[in-house]
Chain A
Amino acid sequence: MLASLLFGSWAGNALAQQAEEPATPFAGDIPLMMEEAVAAGITHSYDGPWEYFVGGGVSTFDCNQDRLPDMYLAGGQQSAALFVNRSQAGGRLQFDPVDDSSLTLDRVIGSYPLDIDNDGFQDLVVLRVGENRLFKGGPDCRFTPANVSWNFNGGNAWTTAFSASFEPGQAYPTLAVGNYVDRAAPGSPWGTCHPNELHRPAAEPEPKSESPRPDYSSVLPLEPGYCALSMLFTDWNKTGVDALRITNDRQYYRGGQEQLWRLDSGRYPRLYGAAEGWEPVVIWGMGIAEADLDADGYPEYALTSMGDTKLQVLDLQQAIEENRPSYQDMAWDRGATAHRPYTGEDLKPSTGWHSQFEDLNNDALLDLFITKGNVERMSDFAAFDPDNLLLGTHQATFSEQGLAAGLALDRRGRGASITDFNADGLLDIVVVNRGANISLFRNGGMQGPEGLRAGGNWLKLALQQKGNNRHAIGARVSIKTGNRVQTRRLQSGGGHASGSAGFIHVGLGVAERATVRVQWPDGQWSAPFKLFANHHVIIERDSIETMQWFPPTPLP
C-alpha cells in the first residue's frame, strides 16, 4: 500500500498519459521466444516464505568444458539444482539434472559464476538466507566447498546481491556481498537493513606459495546498508577503477537511497555524496543492468523497481569536467519505463526484478529484458505482470514487444539469464519464477510474413588470458562495423541474484564483418582482430590469431 501511494503521488499522471499514446509499429525483427522448460527436461520452481519473496536467481555458465552454458537454479525453501546443457547446436533445448552435486542446497537466493582461484574453471558464489557459500569448480561440473580453504566467512545474513571485480594489482577478485533485512534487529523489518560486505583478498605471501589460493579472511562492512537487491562493480567514469553501484529497496530502509561506493586503491570505501554530484534516488531497486548504449565509454544503467524502470544516463559535462557521477533518468524519453503490464486488463503498476541488456534480434541495437512479477499477493500492484522485451530502435528508443515475442505468461518472474543455450547465435532466456516452473524461452528466430526467418548477423566472443583473471573480468570489447561502434564489458554482478559467464554476444545487423579490439582488464589494448560474422571466436591475450569454435554437430 505504502508503495503504491508513493508511486502514484509523483508519477501517476505522466505514466497514464504515456500509456494512452498509440504504440508505434515496430519495423524491426521480433524474435519468437518459445517456452519449453518441461520439454527440455527442467521442472524447477523457486518458492518459500517471506525471505523468498525476493531472490530466485540463476547462473548460466559452462561447468563441463563443452562451452555450452549449463545452469544452476535457486530453489528458495526448496533445493537449488544444477542442470547440464545437452542441447544440440541450433536444435531444441535439452538439460540433464545433476543429482549428486554439492550444490544441492536449500535456502539459496541466487548465485554468480566466477573463476575466483584462477584455475580456468568457473567457481560459484551461492547467496543464501544464512551462510553464503563459495564452491571451487572443477572438471565435469564437480564443485568443492571452499569457504574454509579460502577463508571466506559466509556470515548468517539474508544475502540478496553480489558483484566481483579484480581490483588493480590483486591476484584474486574482490567480492561484494549485498544483504537485505536484518531480521534479528529490533524493529525489524522497517529500517533494519543489514550492512553489506566487501571481501578483499589478502595479498599473496612472499615467497609465493606453490599452490596459491585466495584468502578472504578480511571483511570490510559497507555501511550503511539499505537493503540491497542488486549490486554491480562498474567503471562509471572510464578511469579503469571500478566503483560499486548498489540498488536498494525503499520498502524497508529509512533515509536510504541508491548508492555508489568509491573504491580507491589502498583506501577504505566511501560513498559518493551530494557534494560530489550523486543525487539521491529513492526506488524499490530490484535489479541493475549496465550497457554503453551510445558507445561513448560511459555506461548507462537500467534499474528495475516497482512501477517505472529507471534508465540512468550520465551527465557527461559534469563527469568529464568535474568527475561527478550525476545521472539523468531517460527512461521516459526512451520508452523504457515499463511501468505497468503491456497486456491484459490490469492497470496497476508493475513489479520489476531482473534487468539485462542484450541484443535478442541481432539488429546491432541493444534490447532491454525485464522480469516482472507481483511480490506476493500485493493487491496494489499488477497481479498479471508479464516479463518485458523492450527492443531497441534506430531512434535510440525502446519498443515493448513482449507480447508479440511470446513472453506474456502469467508467472511471477524473479531472476533470469539471457544466453545462447544451443549455440545458434540467437539468445535464449531462462527466468526463475516464484511458485511456478522456470520459463525457458528458446529463441526460434525472427517472425516474418513467410514464417520464421534468421535475424541479423552476430558474433560471439570468448576472452582468455593467462595467469590471474583468466576470463578477463573487467575487459572492454569494442566491436566496429562500418561507422558503428558497439561496446561490451565483462562483468560479474548485477541483475537480480543472477549471473552468467561465457561468450559475449554481439548483434551485427547487416554487417558481415567486424573489427574487434579488446581492452584487457589492466588497460592494455589488443591489436584489431578482423572477424567474420556468425561465428564463435576465442580471443587469447597476446595471440595475434583468433580461434573459431564450433559446437558439436549431429552425425549425418
Chain B
Amino acid sequence: MNPRNSLAATCHRRLVILACSLTLNGSLAAESMPAESKTVQAQEPWSERALANPMSSADFSGRLDQQRLQTLIDAGEHLFTARFTTLDGVGRPMATQAIIPTKRKRAPRSAFSRTAGMDANACSSCHNVPLVGGAGDFTANVFVSEGFQHTDFDTTDPQFSNERNTNHLFGSGLIELLAREMSGELQALRTQALRTARESGEPTSMALSSKGVNFGQLHAWPDGRVATHDIEGVDQDLVIRPFSHKGVMTSLRQFTINALNHHHGMQATERFGERWTGQQDHDEDGVRNELGPGDVSALVAWQAALPPPGRLSPADERWQNAAARGERHFRNAGCNDCHRRTLPLDSLDFADPGHLDAAGTLRHAEATDATYPLALLAWAKQLERDDSGRYLIPLFGDLKRHRIADQSLSALGNELLSQRFVERNVFMTSELWGIASTAPYGHRGDMSTLAEVIDAHGGEARSARDAWSHLNEQQKSDMIAFLKTLVIAP
C-alpha cells in the first residue's frame, strides 16, 4: 500500500479526513487556498474549524482513477456532513440568499433564520432521511425566495417565499447525466431544424423528443430565427434543469453553490469571489475566499456518487404479489406517462464541470476539468442495460416540467411565487425512486401518505389521478404496495 494510503486509512474518515489530508496532500495548490487557511499549518484535534484544508482541483484533474475518485468522494462526504462554523466562513451578514451575488442593505439582527436563512449548520442537517444524502422531514422544509427583495422576511406567509420539502439526492449523478444527454439531443434537434430550414428555404417545425419524452415543438426559419412558444416542459434554451422541485437548477454544482450560500453563508469563489464581485469577502463575514473550486468539486463528486435508490424485494409473498399487481395498475392508470420507469443513459462518465452551466458555476477551462467515471462505483454494476448497452436508469420520472394543479385540484400548486421564470403551478416530475424512504410527500412535504399525494395530482396528471381514483380499494392498496418497494437502500 502506498504510504499515503496507509496514513489515510488510519484517519477517521468522517471527522478528520481533511486534517489528515493536509499531510497526504502536501502539494495542494496554494493559489486555491483561502487566505486564512494559508497560515494554518495543522488542524488541532479540538479545532472548531470544519474546513481544515481546502481541496485542490489540480489534484483531481483528468479522468480520475478509483483511488482519487474515492478520495474526492470522501472529502465531499466530510463537507456534506460538516457543521460549518464562523471560522470557516459561516454567515453572510451582508449578502442575501440570491443566486446572483446580492448585497443586503444592512446586516440582519440574527445570523440564523428558519425563514430567510441561513437556516442550517450542515447539508446533512436536512438531507438525512433515511440517511445522509436523503430527504427531510417537514421540520426541514426550506423557504425559497429569489433573495432580491424582502430578503429578510420573517414570516412563512407564502407571499414572501415558497415552502419546500427537502429532496433526496440519491442517484443524482445519474439524473444529471440524463439531463445533459437529453439537453444535447434537444439542442441537436434545433440545429437540425435550422439546417433544414436554411437548406429548403422554407420554415420548418421540429418535434422535440429525447429518450422518448416529448417536449413539444419548435419552429425554425431559413434566416435563423426560432420560435419557442410551442416548447413544453423545458426552458427556451432547451437546457433540462433537473434539480429542485421546480426543475430550475442545471447541475449538482450549481445547486451546491446556491445551497451553500443560502443555507450556510458559505460562499464559493467561483461565483462570489473576486472575479465576479470584486471582493474576496463578498458576504463581509471576515473570511475571504471561503470555498474554492476543489471543495465544490468534492461535494459534487460525493453527491454524484450516491447510489441510485433500489427496489425492495419483500420477503412477504403477499407484498410481492401486491406490488406486482400494483405496478400494473400504476402503468395502466397512466402514471408512467410522466413517472417513466427508466430512461436510457449512454455514458456514466460524469464531467465536472459539465457543459451546460453558465457563468457563475464553474465551466470548462476555468479551473481543472475532471471526469468522474461513475462506472467505477460498485452500484454501477447493478444497473440494468438494454440491448445496445445503454444503462436503464430506474428513476420513475421524465425530467420534464408539467402543470400539476388545476381549478379543482390545486393542492400541489400551492405556491404564490413563480421561480426563475417557471409558473407557480408547474413543477418537475418528481422521480419516484426512493419514495418509500422519503415521506412526507408533496412539494411542501405536507402530505403524510402516498395516497394523499396521488389524490392531489391535477393539471396534466389529472387523467392518471382520475384513473387512480376509480381503482377499488384493493387495487389502490396494491399500488401503494408497489410504491413502497421503491426504497433507498440502507
- B159 surroundings in chain A (CB, below 8 A): none
Contacts A28-B275, A533-B358: A511 and B100 contacting too (C-beta < 8 A)?
yes
- B59 surroundings in chain A (CB, below 8 A): none
- A510 surroundings in chain B (CB, below 8 A): 100-101, 271, 276, 358-360
Contacts A534-B237, A550-B226: A363 and B276 contacting too (C-beta < 8 A)?
yes
- A553 surroundings in chain B (CB, below 8 A): 191, 194-195
Q: Are A548 and B100 in contact (CB under 8 A)?
A: no
Q: Are B420 and A549 in contact (CB under 8 A)?
A: no
- B276 surroundings in chain A (CB, below 8 A): 28, 363, 456, 509-510
Bound form: Cα–Cα A530–B419 in Å: 12
Among A66, A452, A456, A483, max chain B CB count under 10 A is at A483
- A508 surroundings in chain B (CB, below 8 A): 359
Indicate if A455 sits at the interface (CB-CB under 8 A): yes
Q: Would you list which residues of chain A between 156 and 180 have a CB under 8 Å from chain B?
A: none
Indicate if B22 sits at the interface (CB-CB under 8 A): no
Q: Are B275 and A453 in contact (CB under 8 A)?
A: no
A-B contact count (CB 8 A): 115
- B363 surroundings in chain A (CB, below 8 A): 453-454
Indicate if A395 sits at the interface (CB-CB under 8 A): yes
List the B residue with the shortest CB-CB distance to A454: B363
- B225 surroundings in chain A (CB, below 8 A): 538, 547-549
Bound form: Cα–Cα A552–B225 in Å: 11
Q: Are A548 and B420 in contact (CB under 8 A)?
A: no
Q: Are A550 and B224 in contact (CB under 8 A)?
A: yes
Indicate if A482 sits at the interface (CB-CB under 8 A): yes
List the A residue with the shortest CB-CB distance to B191: A553
Q: Are A548 and B102 in contact (CB under 8 A)?
A: no
Indicate if A551 sits at the interface (CB-CB under 8 A): yes
Contacts A28-B278, A67-B223, A547-B227: A552 and B198 contacting too (C-beta < 8 A)?
yes
Indicate if A450 sits at the interface (CB-CB under 8 A): yes
Bound form: Cα–Cα A207–B302 in Å: 75
Indicate if A424 sits at the interface (CB-CB under 8 A): no
Q: Are B100 and A394 in contact (CB under 8 A)?
A: no
Indicate if B236 sits at the interface (CB-CB under 8 A): yes
List the B residue with the shortest CB-CB distance to A68: B224
Q: How far is the CB of B483 from chain A (nearest CB, A)?
A: 35
Bound form: Cα–Cα A510–B101 in Å: 8
Q: Are A513 and B421 in contact (CB under 8 A)?
A: yes
Query: What 0/1 readout, one digit per residue, does chain A (20-38) give for beta carbons within 8 Å of chain B?
Result: 0000000111000000000
Indicate if A362 sits at the interface (CB-CB under 8 A): yes
Q: Are A456 and B359 in contact (CB under 8 A)?
A: yes
- A550 surroundings in chain B (CB, below 8 A): 190-191, 194, 224, 226
Q: Are A453 and B365 in contact (CB under 8 A)?
A: yes
List the B residue with the shortest CB-CB distance to A25: B274
Bound form: Cα–Cα A457–B239 in Å: 15
Bound form: Cα–Cα A65–B224 in Å: 11
- A395 surroundings in chain B (CB, below 8 A): 278
Q: Are A483 and B359 in contact (CB under 8 A)?
A: no
Q: Are A65 and B223 in contact (CB under 8 A)?
A: yes
Q: Are B98 and A27 in contact (CB under 8 A)?
A: no
- B100 surroundings in chain A (CB, below 8 A): 481-482, 484, 509-511
Q: Would you list which residues of chain B between 228 and 272 have a CB under 8 Å from chain A?
A: 228-229, 235-237, 239, 271
- A512 surroundings in chain B (CB, below 8 A): 358, 360
Q: How far is the CB of A529 from chain B (nearest CB, A)?
A: 10
Q: Among B191, B229, B367, which residue has its beta carbon within 8 angstroms of that of A450?
A: B367
Contacts A448-B366, A482-B102, A553-B194: A545 and B275 contacting too (C-beta < 8 A)?
no
Contacts A510-B101, A510-B360, A512-B360: A548 and B271 contacting too (C-beta < 8 A)?
no
Bound form: Cα–Cα A11–B14 in Å: 64
Indicate if B149 sits at the interface (CB-CB under 8 A): yes
Indicate if A470 sits at the interface (CB-CB under 8 A): no
Indicate if A150 sits at the interface (CB-CB under 8 A): no
List the B residue with the shortest CB-CB distance to A530: B421
Q: Are A454 and B359 in contact (CB under 8 A)?
A: yes
Bound form: Cα–Cα A510–B365 in Å: 16
- A312 surroundings in chain B (CB, below 8 A): none
Q: Are B101 and A535 in contact (CB under 8 A)?
A: no
Q: Are A393 and B278 in contact (CB under 8 A)?
A: yes
- A538 surroundings in chain B (CB, below 8 A): 225
Q: Are A450 and B365 in contact (CB under 8 A)?
A: yes
Q: Are A532 and B235 in contact (CB under 8 A)?
A: yes
Bound form: Cα–Cα A60–B272 in Å: 36
Bound form: Cα–Cα A550–B101 in Å: 30
Q: Are A532 and B237 in contact (CB under 8 A)?
A: yes
Indicate if B153 sits at the interface (CB-CB under 8 A): no
Query: What 0/1 readout, one digit per residue, does chain B (345-369) give for beta carbons within 8 Å of chain A?
Result: 0000000000000111001111110
Indicate if B25 sits at the interface (CB-CB under 8 A): no
Indicate if A344 sits at the interface (CB-CB under 8 A): no
Indicate if A451 sits at the interface (CB-CB under 8 A): yes
Indicate if B148 sits at the interface (CB-CB under 8 A): yes
Q: Are A27 and B358 in contact (CB under 8 A)?
A: no
Q: Are B226 and A483 in contact (CB under 8 A)?
A: no
Contacts A27-B278, A450-B368, A512-B360: A67 and B224 contacting too (C-beta < 8 A)?
yes
Bound form: Cα–Cα A510–B100 in Å: 6
Bound form: Cα–Cα A128–B268 in Å: 55
Q: How far is the CB of A88 from chain B (nearest CB, A)?
A: 13
Q: Would you list which residues of chain A between 449 and 494 have a CB under 8 Å from chain B?
A: 449-457, 481-484
Q: How far is the CB of B233 from chain A (nearest CB, A)?
A: 15
Indicate if B463 sits at the interface (CB-CB under 8 A): no
Q: Are A457 and B358 in contact (CB under 8 A)?
A: yes
Query: What 0/1 readout, one digit per residue, does chain B (376-420) give for beta carbons within 8 Å of chain A?
Result: 000000000000000000000000000000000000000000001
Indicate if B279 sits at the interface (CB-CB under 8 A): yes
Q: Would you list which residues of chain B between 164 and 201 have a CB under 8 Å from chain A?
A: 190-191, 194-195, 198
Indicate if B277 sits at the interface (CB-CB under 8 A): yes
Q: Are B365 and A452 in contact (CB under 8 A)?
A: yes
- Sampled A-B contacts (5; CB under 8 Å): A27-B278, A29-B275, A508-B359, A512-B360, A553-B191
Q: A28-B276, A450-B368, A454-B363 are in contact. List 5 more A-B contacts (CB 8 A).
A: A395-B278, A453-B363, A454-B366, A509-B359, A512-B358
9 A-B pairs with least C-beta separation: A510-B360, A394-B278, A27-B274, A482-B100, A532-B237, A548-B226, A530-B421, A453-B365, A456-B359
